[in-house]
Amino acid sequence: MRQTASKRVLVTGGAGFLGSHLCERLLAEGCEVLCVDNYFTGSRSNVAHLLDHPRFETMRHDVTFPLYVEVDEIYNLACPASPVHYQHDPVQTTKTSVLGAINMLGLAKRLKARILQASTSEVYGDPFVHPQPEGYWGHVNPIGPRACYDEGKRCAETLFFDYHRQHGLEIKVVRIFNTYGPRMHPNDGRVVSNFIMQALRGEPITIYGDGSQTRSFCYVDDLIDGFLALMASPAAVTGPINIGNPGEFTIRELAETVIALTGSRSRLVHRPLPRDDPKQRRPDIAAAREVLGWQPKVPLEQGLKRTIAHFDTLLGGRALRAAAE
């Protein structure tokens, strides 16, 4: 087997928010990286700073079609992850999760390569168990507007474990909880990017429901640490394993923190809660701590400051300067 320094790694969805950070870290680890993306939600600008790297390569490809490349490891991150994007074409979202998993598992089987699936906390749905441990089977509406993503990811997990049992494939399944940081899409409709962009523009901050619903927010650097730890773990460690920050905040608390950090004069406005929106979400990360020796390090306020600075740069760096004057 080749040494880690020359390992060739495929990252599907590599030009996305998480994928671009993963590509960056893998290059820093000495790997050769093949970034595959169809650029539906990913962006060339996310990997522009990597294009001249001698061990980095990009390929435009849709994972719903087979891919024939030679690699040692595969990270399957390809799938729109925000409701705005995955509900735009729900049939394609399901196909990306299910056919994408089948195609990447087929590639891993042929190459005898280890493969990691980026699953999601959405497999738990609107949970009756709190916080959510990996053994909880979830409470998901299979015919609702979020089902294309929730059930697509659940089916992908099924496929991964069936390939593992039937073909002896080395799999890793990570369930990602809310993650934020630089390179988030500014218009992806997620709560962190929504609040920051609205605050920087001085617009009303939109809270769906009464703001008492809770979320846990993991900074992207911590999440990528979890990815790498899981991929490097012994073959017997398949997951699924939760990776997220167990700190729990109400949506209102998040909005008030963003307003304070940006110095914005934005006010809070309330809108009806979307259908099937989870009321609470918090990971039980006991397994990640015990099996991987992983836990998040970046506090919410620190991570938000870095993310706010990124979005302010996208807006020309004017908003934070204006707030300081």
* Annotated active-site residue in 86, 124, 149, 163: 149
Task: Categorize the per-residue pLDDT at 189 as very low, low, confident or very high, splitting at 50, 70 and 90.
Answer: confident
Three-state secondary structure call for residue 237: coil
User: What's the confidence (pLDDT) of residue 323?
Assistant: 55
Residue-wise pLDDT for 293-304, tens only, equals 999 999 999 999
Domains of the chain (ranges, CATH numbers) = 4-180+218-243 (3.40.50.720), 191-215+247-281+299-324 (3.90.25.10)
What does the alpha-carbon distance between residue 64 and residue 45 come to, in Å, rounded to a whole number? 23
What is the three-state SS of 243-312? ECCCCCEEHHHHHHHHHHHHCCCCCEEEECCCCCCCCCCCECCHHHHHHHCCCCCCCHHHHHHHHHHHHH
Question: CB count, 10 Å around CB of 301?
Answer: 10
- Asked if 149 is an active-site residue, the reply is yes
Residue-wise pLDDT for 104-144, tens only, equals 999 999 999 999 999 999 999 989 999 999 999 999 999 99
Residue-wise pLDDT for 268-287, tens only, equals 999 988 776 778 889 999 99
Strands (E), the chain: 8-12, 32-37, 56-60, 73-76, 114-120, 171-176, 179-180, 205-208, 214-215, 218-219, 241-243, 249-250, 268-271
Residue-wise pLDDT for 136-183, tens only, equals 999 999 999 999 999 999 999 999 999 999 999 999 999 999 999 999
What does the alpha-carbon distance between residue 254 and residue 214 come to, in Å, rounded to a whole number? 9
CA-derived radius of gyration, the chain: 19
Crossing angle (nearest 10°) for helices 220-231 and 17-28? 60
**Amino acid at site 94:** T
What does the alpha-carbon distance between residue 114 and residue 108 come to, in Å, rounded to a whole number? 7
User: What's the confidence (pLDDT) of residue 86?
Assistant: 76
Residue-wise pLDDT for 55-66, tens only, equals 999 999 999 999
What does the alpha-carbon distance between residue 314 and residue 298 come to, in Å, rounded to a whole number? 23
| Helices first, then strands: H and E counts in the chain | 11, 13
35 pairs with which residues across the strands?
11, 58
Phi, psi angles (nearest 5°) of residue 236? -70, -20
Task: Categorize the per-residue pLDDT at 83 as very low, low, confident or very high, splitting at 50, 70 and 90.
Answer: confident
